[in-house]
């Protein structure tokens, strides 16, 4: 049958893998896996999906996570749902990755599954195939076998996350009544924290991602000029007018709208506008890879602002960076000492570690989770909050609720419920306190957890990171 089926290749530049799937199957997205494919919409029809698990969830040193241990975990999950498994067998995946496979039967649903997995570079890749437990399973098993034989890993190009630090470029030293009484006006912007930078005085700032070395790499630059820029051949032929909302730092949240010209070419995007002086924002990418990177540039433009010299001096240096989750679609301010500790493949759960000396023994101190709750229909905040707190009280040993009644804050413009839990923290080997904020936005549940030792760290962590809650913005469309 396989020879009469046409296959297409799915390629993820975010995760760096590709595999084949039947061309007439439907591609699906789900918070539990990276990508899925199914023959029809009905649940009982054949389908397969791909999961990627970060092994650092089990150990900081991922080399300590053994295949046999992971295999036991999978077997435990299979038995937990009442399935009847066969034994694991060796499976060569993609012609070069040594993996394991298992087939199991779910009698309650009369469904059958085959699951294959392998380890590479600190991640577990899982390919799962499910069908009705009759002739359908055997007839379509070749889809799974073809998928794992075609599975390939490569160096990914697209961005998942950005941690951004602020810089500024002097625009004018003359007074401007439309902006500020200060004699100096600055363009404030954020740039990727781990990119190298080159400052050419007050004329040009250049940032480069040193990890991307092909075709000129990945470069973001800001250039100012006394006169309008001309198309010297570096600007693309495609041009359109756009609006940029500059954050006016002296204006209590006011936005200054400027009209700009956006030029697109195969290897990048340029935006030209005038604010006191002409500004050119350039983003250069490896040839043909613009689709994987241009979202980064769009987010950088989103954070542009103008401010006067005295305000800039009063708030410089900023105590925080901006963290932008490009996969899920939210951003927030985080302390400069925070760094990403662990992530789930779809970006739906991320954890931050504080690197300062008095708190760096915590594996993570802030965790953000976003889950799709649209399948539950319309769900109210109090229902979701009670569900989240109930699950945590069940999962955390020796846990107790410290707050009798929930209190309320705001995440962006949405109401959020907060509660505190004390529990025995297995990872720390001592009690910990967790402050949990829950919110419901755009059919998604959002949970922000601040975790500290129960002894004396709560005030330290909260004092330096309270604006995580104030600054959180979920912009997913």
Domain segments of the chain: what residues? 2-153, 161-314, 320-474
Write out the E strands in 249-376. Answer: 255-265, 268-275, 277-284, 305-308, 320-325, 330-335, 338-343, 349-354, 366-372
The CATH class given to the 320-474 domain equals alpha beta
| b/e map 191-216, b = 16+ CB within 10 Å | bbeebeeeeeeeebbbbbbeebeeee
| Same fold? 161-314, 320-474 | yes
CATH code of the domain made up of 161-314: 3.40.1000
Task: Give Dmax over CA atoms of the chain in angstroms.
Answer: 79
Q: Is 46 left (phi over 0), alpha (psi -120 to 50) or beta?
A: beta
Q: How far apart are CA 202 and CA 219, in angstroms?
A: 18
pLDDT tens-digit profile, the chain (477 residues): 444 678 999 998 888 899 999 998 988 876 678 889 988 766 567 889 999 988 877 777 888 889 999 999 899 989 988 999 999 999 999 999 999 999 999 998 888 999 999 999 888 999 999 988 877 788 888 889 999 999 999 888 888 899 999 999 999 876 544 444 457 899 999 999 999 999 998 899 999 998 887 677 899 999 999 998 888 777 878 899 999 999 887 766 678 999 999 999 888 999 999 998 999 999 999 877 888 899 999 999 999 999 888 888 877 778 899 999 998 899 999 999 898 887 777 788 899 988 887 666 778 889 999 988 887 777 899 999 999 999 999 988 899 998 878 888 888 888 999 999 999 988 888 888 999 999 999 889 999 999 888 766 677 777 777 789 889 999 876
Which is it for the CA torsion 53, 56, 62, 67, positive or negative? Answer: negative
Q: How far apart are CA 212 and CA 444, in angstroms?
A: 34
| Contact indicator for 277, 243 with CB cutoff of 8 Å | no
pTM of the full predicted structure? Answer: 0.81
Q: How far apart are CA 338 and CA 320, in angstroms?
A: 9
CATH topology classification for 2-153: Protein Transport Mog1p; Chain A (3.40.1000)
Q: How far apart are CA 124 and CA 11, in angstroms?
A: 18
């Amino acid at each position: 049958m396989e020879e009469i089926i046409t296959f297409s290749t799915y390629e993820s530049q975010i995760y760096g893998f590709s595999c084949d799937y039947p061309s007439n199957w439907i591609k699906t997205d789900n918070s539990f896996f990276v990508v899925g494919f199914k023959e029809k919409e009905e649940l009982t029809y054949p389908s397969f999906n791909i999961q990627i698990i970060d092994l650092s969830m089990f150990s900081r040193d991922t080399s300590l996570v053994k295949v046999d241990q992971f295999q036991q975990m999978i077997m435990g999950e299979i038995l937990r749902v009442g399935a009847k498994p066969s034994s694991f067998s060796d499976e060569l995946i993609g012609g070069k990755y040594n993996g394991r496979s298992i087939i199991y039967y779910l009698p309650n649903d009369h469904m059958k599954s085959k699951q294959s997995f392998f380890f590479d570079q600190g991640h577990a890749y899982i390919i799962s195939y499910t069908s009705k437990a009759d002739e359908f399973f055997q007839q379509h098993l070749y889809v799974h076998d073809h998928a794992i034989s075609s599975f390939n890993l490569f160096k990914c190009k697209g961005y998942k996350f950005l941690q951004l630090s602020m810089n500024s470029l002097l625009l004018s030293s003359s007074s401007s009544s439309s902006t500020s009484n200060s004699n100096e006006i600055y363009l404030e912007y954020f740039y990727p924290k781990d990119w190298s930078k080159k400052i050419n005085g007050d004329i040009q700032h250049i940032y480069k991602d040193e990890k991307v070395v092909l075709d000129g790499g990945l470069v973001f630059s800001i250039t100012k000029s006394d006169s309008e820029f001309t198309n010297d051949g570096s600007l693309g032929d495609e041009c359109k007018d756009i609006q940029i909302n500059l954050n006016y730092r002296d204006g209590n949240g006011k936005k200054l709208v400027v009209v700009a010209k956006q030029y697109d070419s195969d290897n990048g995007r340029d935006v030209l506008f005038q604010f006191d002086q002409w500004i050119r924002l350039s983003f250069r990418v490896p040839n043909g890879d613009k689709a994987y990177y241009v979202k980064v540039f769009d987010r950088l433009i989103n954070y542009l602002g103008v401010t006067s010299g005295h305000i800039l001096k009063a708030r410089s240096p900023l105590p925080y960076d901006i963290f932008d989750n490009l996969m899920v679609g939210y951003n927030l301010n985080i302390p400069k000492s925070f760094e990403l500790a662990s992530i789930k493949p779809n970006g739906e759960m991320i954890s931050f570690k504080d690197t300062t000396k008095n708190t760096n023994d915590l594996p993570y101190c802030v965790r953000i989770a976003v889950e799709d709750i649209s399948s539950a229909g319309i769900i109210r905040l109090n229902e979701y909050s009670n569900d989240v707190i109930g699950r945590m009280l069940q999962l955390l040993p020796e846990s107790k609720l410290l707050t009798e009644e929930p209190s309320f804050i705001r995440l962006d413009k949405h109401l959020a419920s907060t509660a505190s839990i004390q529990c025995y923290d297995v990872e720390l080997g001592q009690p910990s306190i967790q402050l949990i904020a829950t919110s419901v936005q755009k059919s998604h549940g959002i949970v922000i957890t601040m975790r500290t030792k129960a002894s004396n760290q709560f005030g330290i962590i909260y004092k330096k990171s309270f604006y995580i809650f104030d600054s959180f913005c979920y912009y997913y469309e």
